[in-house]
């Protein structure tokens, strides 16, 4: 073992953290190397004076300040989670209502288109057009002379009731 390797292991040698094989190698090297023995003595001295070096006392109220900040953070997170849940719920309601309205509109449109086509295909229906509207109390629609989808739908519906 070289001095450099032995000296890098002195620290763990002193702390008894080396494997038995490593410890034996370092021990054998120390027995034959005065420079490394001096490094070992120096390490022990250094550990001693570092252990004696004081640190300033911890600032008063240190833990209280940390816990207060953690409490604030926890409350903010809880508020944020509640707001997020509410927002998600509001969006769900909006989307559900919009989807329902779209489905109703699509159904109505489909019904109107189908009704118009059926109406136009029926020769009898054209003849009955005025009578049906008049019977339903919607005579003014017949006077418009138009052929709107709404008119067709109403006519078809009334014809079905008869």
Residues that bind other proteins (CB under 8 A): 4, 7-12, 15, 17, 39, 42-43, 45-47, 49-59, 62-63, 65-67, 69-71, 73-74
In the complex with other proteins, the residue whose CB is nearer, 64 or 161, is 64
In the complex with other proteins, the residue whose CB is nearer, 67 or 108, is 67
In the complex with other proteins, the residue whose CB is nearer, 69 or 120, is 69
**Shortest reach from residue 91's CB to other proteins, in Å:** 25
Q: Would you report the helix, strand and coil content of the chain in percent, each value rounded to 5?
A: 85, 0, 15
State how far Cα 34 lies from the chain centre: 65
3-state secondary structure of 50: helix
In the complex with other proteins, the residue whose CB is nearer, 10 or 132, is 10
Report the C-alpha gap between 7 and 28 in whole angstroms.
13
**Shortest reach from residue 97's CB to other proteins, in Å:** 35
Check if the beta carbon of residue 156 is closer than 8 Å to that of residue 115.
yes
Q: Which residue is associated with the tokens 């779209």?
A: 102
**Shortest reach from residue 102's CB to other proteins, in Å:** 39
The DSSP call for residue 137 is T
**Shortest reach from residue 17's CB to other proteins, in Å:** 5
């Amino acid at each position: 073992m070289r001095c450099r390797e032995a000296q890098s292991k002195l620290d763990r040698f002193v702390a008894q953290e080396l494997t038995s094989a490593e410890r034996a190698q370092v021990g054998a090297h120390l027995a034959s190397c005065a420079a490394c023995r001096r490094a070992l003595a120096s390490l022990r001295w250094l550990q001693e004076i570092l252990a004696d070096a004081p640190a300033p006392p911890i600032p008063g109220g240190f833990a209280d300040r940390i816990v207060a900040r953690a409490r604030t953070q926890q409350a903010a997170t809880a508020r944020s989670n509640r707001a997020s849940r509410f927002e998600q719920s509001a969006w769900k309601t909006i989307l559900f209502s919009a989807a329902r309205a779209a489905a109703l509109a699509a159904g109505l449109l489909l019904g109107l288109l189908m009704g118009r086509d059926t109406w136009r295909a029926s020769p009898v229906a054209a003849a009955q057009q005025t009578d049906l509207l008049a019977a339903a109390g919607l005579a003014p629609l017949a006077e418009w002379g138009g052929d709107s989808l709404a008119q067709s739908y109403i006519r078809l519906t009334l014809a079905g009731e008869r």
